[in-house]
């Protein structure tokens, strides 16, 4: 059985690495990796393949940055050419990026069965490009691998029960695997001898493209009791420079870090502040309290017993959430750490 895996952004590399390990040790399975080139610089892409021990992509489509329509259109064209050449038995897509929706559409139009890992997530905010990508991908895919029971329920509401399979979350598998590999050599030099800190990430357009929200978030950061370490995308760094965003003495902006460096930072931080869906979950898996800098979350399971709190960009809410009491017990909402095995079994 030939599986064509389509990835394009860092979170997808992590998820694909987990499933790829199982695929490549399963008799009768052959994987072809197609990298759209959505994340194309070395820090955002190449280093991930090396660090996560993913084989080099069989195809790099080198699409790069563009408007949503242009980027998705270029991906559709280039993915279609590869699929026509390879004619796989299944196309496997991940998450909610333009690479996800382009891969599933290209496969569907060629009548190639397609499966979606991390199906059934909904923020119910249709202004998010990711929300449109998720809905479109789920409705054209043949198999939907749901990471939680809530995702299964949401798929059922949309009439997709027959295609839905509960696997658990491949990101949980990933954390269990990679946290064992993290050592002091993965401590980023950019944080110096810092011992106590909060870990923050900001990348969603709702924050980075709104000057007031960005200023409010950094105003809150500057008033916190510990240093806030922020590995920041170069694009957001430029925006902060242009906007004269207040960065207090306790705000430490560093270059983007590798995945294992991020796990190190997560392992040793006091708390997480983020607008990333993936990092909300990783904080939960590592039993770190989280503050979500958005107005909603797809990962409602992380909100149980106070592990995660949604605050938007309100400085007072951010500060209050950082100072909240310790949370209660965690649930087993994300499966048993064997999601990748279940994905491969369903494909077989």
For residue 161, is it left (φ>0), alpha (ψ between -120 and 50) or beta? alpha
- Number of neighbouring beta carbons within 10 Å of residue 124: 9
The whole-angstrom separation of Cα 53 and Cα 326 is 36
Q: Which residue do the tokens 């139009």 mark?
A: 109
The whole-angstrom separation of Cα 52 and Cα 5 is 16
Furthest CA-CA distance within the chain: 57
The set of residues, in sequence order, having a beta carbon less than 8 Å from that of 172 and lying 6+ positions away, is: 281, 285, 334, 335, 337, 339
Q: Which residues are catalytic?
A: 203
Q: DSSP class of residue 89?
A: S
The set of residues, in sequence order, having a beta carbon less than 8 Å from that of 180 and lying 6+ positions away, is: none
CB 242 within 8 A of CB 215: no
């Amino acid at each position: 059985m030939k599986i064509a895996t389509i990835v394009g952004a860092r979170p997808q590399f992590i998820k694909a690495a987990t499933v790829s390990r199982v695929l490549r040790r399963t008799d009768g399975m052959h994987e072809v990796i197609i990298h759209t080139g959505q994340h194309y610089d070395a820090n955002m892409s190449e280093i991930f393949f090396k660090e996560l021990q993913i084989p080099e992509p069989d195809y790099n489509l080198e699409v790069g940055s563009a408007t949503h329509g242009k980027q998705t259109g270029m991906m559709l064209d280039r993915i279609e050419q590869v699929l026509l050449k390879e004619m796989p038995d299944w196309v496997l897509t991940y998450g909610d990026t333009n690479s996800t929706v382009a891969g599933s559409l290209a496969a569907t139009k060629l009548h190639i069965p397609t499966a979606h890992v991390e199906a059934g997530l909904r923020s119910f905010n249709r202004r998010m490009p990711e929300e449109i990508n998720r809905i479109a991908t789920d409705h054209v895919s043949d198999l939907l691998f749901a990471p939680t029971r809530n995702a299964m329920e949401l798929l059922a509401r949309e009439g997709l029960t027959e295609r839905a399979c509960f696997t658990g979350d491949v990101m949980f598998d990933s954390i269990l695997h990679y946290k064992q590999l993290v050592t002091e050599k993965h401590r980023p030099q950019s944080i110096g001898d810092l011992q106590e800190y909060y870990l923050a990430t900001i990348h969603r357009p709702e924050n980075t493209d709104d000057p007031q929200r960005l200023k409010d978030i950094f105003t809150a950061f500057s008033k916190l009791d510990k240093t806030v370490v922020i590995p920041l995308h170069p694009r957001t760094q430029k925006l902060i420079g242009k906007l004269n965003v207040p960065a207090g003495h306790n705000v430490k902006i560093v270059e983007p870090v590798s995945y294992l460096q991020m796990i190190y930072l997560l392992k040793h931080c006091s708390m997480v502040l983020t607008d990333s869906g993936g990092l909300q979950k990783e904080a939960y898996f590592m039993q770190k309290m989280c503050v979500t800098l958005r107005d909603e979350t797809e990962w409602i399971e992380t909100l149980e017993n106070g592990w995660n709190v949604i605050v938007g960009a309100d400085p007072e809410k951010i500060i209050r959430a950082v100072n909240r009491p310790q949370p209660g017990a965690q649930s087993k909402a994300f499966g048993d750490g064997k999601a990748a095995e279940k994905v491969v079994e369903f494909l077989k």
